[in-house]
Amino acid sequence: MSEESTTTSRSYLTPFNMIAGIIIILGLIVTALRFTKGLATVTNLSDYNPWGIWIGFDLMVGVALAAGGYVTSAAVYLFGMKKYHSAVRPAILTGFLGYALVVLALHYDVGRPWRLPYPFIVQQGTTSLLFEVAACVALYLTVLFLEFSPAALEWLGLKKVRRLAIRFTLILTIFGVILSTLHQSSLGALFLIAPSKLHPLWYSSYLPIYFFISSIIAGLSMVIFEGTLAHRYYAHKMDSAHMEEKDHVALGFGKAASFVLAGYLITKVIGISAGNHWHLLGTGYGIWYLVELLGFVGLPCFLYALGVREKNLVLIRWTAVLTVIGVVLNRLNISLIAFNWHLPSSERYFPHWMEIVISAFIVTIGLVAYRFIVSRMPIFYEHPDYKESH
C-alpha cells in the first residue's frame, strides 16, 4: 500500500487520464452549447429523425448493457446460486452507473432538466409507454442506488446504516427484477407505434419480448466482459474468494447466455415466420438482418456452448465481447439504421460530431466514476469488518 501511495502523485498523467481529460473538457464545452443554443446547434436531429444516438446508443444500449445488475442479483439472491456471489457487487455497480448515465443522457435529449419530474407531478399520461419507462427507470435507479449503498457505507464506516441497508437486499432484488422486466420490454414496445417507419424485418409485435430476452443476454455477457477487464486491471484489489469464483462465473454465465441466445434465436425466426417476411431476407436490409441474426446471435450461441463444453474460458470471454457488440448493433439497427429505412439518403440521420462527443463524454464519466469507486470501496473484495455478515 505504501508503495502505491508513493506512486500515486506521479501517476496522474497516464494515457487514460489524459484522453479522459480531453473528452471531458470537450464534453463540457458541447454541454454548454447544448443548453444555451439548443438541439439544432449540436445535433442533426429533425422532424423525421427526432431520436438520434443520445436515445439509440446512450439510452437504448445503456439500459440493455446495465442489465447485469438485475440478472446477477436475481441469480444469487432469488435462485440461490451463491457461488456467483462475488459477481454481485461489480454487476450492481455497473448497473447503477449505467442507469445514472442513461438519466444524464436523457437530459441532453429532452432538455430543461428541471422538468424531469413532470411525468409524476404534472401530466397524467399514465397509459403512455414513455410514462412507464420513466417511472421504472426512476424507481430502478433508486433501487440500484440502495443495492449499491452497502459498499459505500462500508467505505464510510457507517455500520448501523449499512446494517439497515443490507436488510432490504431480498426485497430490493425482487423490485429490481420486476422493474427491469417492465422497462426493458417497454423500450422495445416504444417502437410498436411506428410500424411504417421501422423496417418489417425488425418491426414485430414481439419487440417487447425481444428487448427483454436480449437484455438478459446483454447482462450475462457484460458480467463476463467486465469481469475479464476488472481481472486484468484490478486483480490487486480482488480477494481470494473473488479470484476463485471468477472462472465459475464465466462458465456459469456463459452457459446461461448460450441457452438464452438459443431461445432468442428461435423467437426471432418465429417472428419472421409470423410476419411472413421470408422474402425480405434476400434484400440488402435482409442480408444486414441475417448478419445480425446469424453473426451476433447464432454464432455467439454456438461459441458459448463450445466454450462451456470444453471449459475454454478464453473463448467464452471473446464470445462475451461478440455478444455485447451484437446487442449494441441490435439497438442501433432498431433505433437508427432500420428506422426511417424508406426515406431518401438525404433525409437519413447521421449523428453530428458534437452528438458523438456527448456520447463519448457520458461513457468517459462512467469509466472515471467506476475507477474512483473500485479503487476505494469494497467492490472486488469483502471489507474485513463485514466478512461474517454475508
Footprint of another protein (CB under 8 A)? 255, 258-259, 262-263, 266, 269-270, 273-276, 278-279, 305, 308-311
Residues written for the chain: 390
Identify which of residues 85 and 268 has a Cβ nearer to another protein in the complex.
268
- The dihedral sign for the CA sequence 64, 66, 70, 71: positive
Identify which of residues 261 and 336 has a Cβ nearer to another protein in the complex.
261
Cell numbers found for residue 249: 462465473
* Residue 183, amino acid: H
Identify which of residues 90 and 307 has a Cβ nearer to another protein in the complex.
307
Residue 160 buriedness (CB in 10 A; 0-12 / 13-18 / 19+): exposed
Helix/strand/coil for 168: coil
CA distance 104 to 231: 28
Q: How far is the CB of 205 from another protein (least distance, A)?
A: 12
Q: How far is the CB of 40 from another protein (least distance, A)?
A: 43
Q: How far is the CB of 133 from another protein (least distance, A)?
A: 30
Identify which of residues 86 and 258 has a Cβ nearer to another protein in the complex.
258
- The dihedral sign for the CA sequence 8, 12, 14, 20: positive
Q: What is the distance in angstroms between the CA of the first residue and the CA of the last residue of the chain?
A: 26
Q: How far is the CB of 267 from another protein (least distance, A)?
A: 9
Identify which of residues 262 and 321 has a Cβ nearer to another protein in the complex.
262
Identify which of residues 310 and 385 has a Cβ nearer to another protein in the complex.
310
- The dihedral sign for the CA sequence 255, 379, 325, 102: positive
Identify which of residues 31 and 267 has a Cβ nearer to another protein in the complex.
267
Taking CA atoms, 358 is separated from 23, 49, 66, in Å, by: 9, 18, 19
What stretches of the chain show up as alpha helix (H) in DSSP?
Answer: 2-8, 15-37, 39-42, 53, 62-65, 68-73, 88-110, 118-121, 129-156, 159-167, 169-189, 207-233, 240-275, 284-290, 299-309, 313-332, 353-376
What are the φ and ψ backbone dihedral angles of 198, each rounded to 5 degrees?
-90, 135
Q: How far is the CB of 103 from another protein (least distance, A)?
A: 37
Q: How far is the CB of 311 from another protein (least distance, A)?
A: 7
Q: How far is the CB of 348 from another protein (least distance, A)?
A: 27
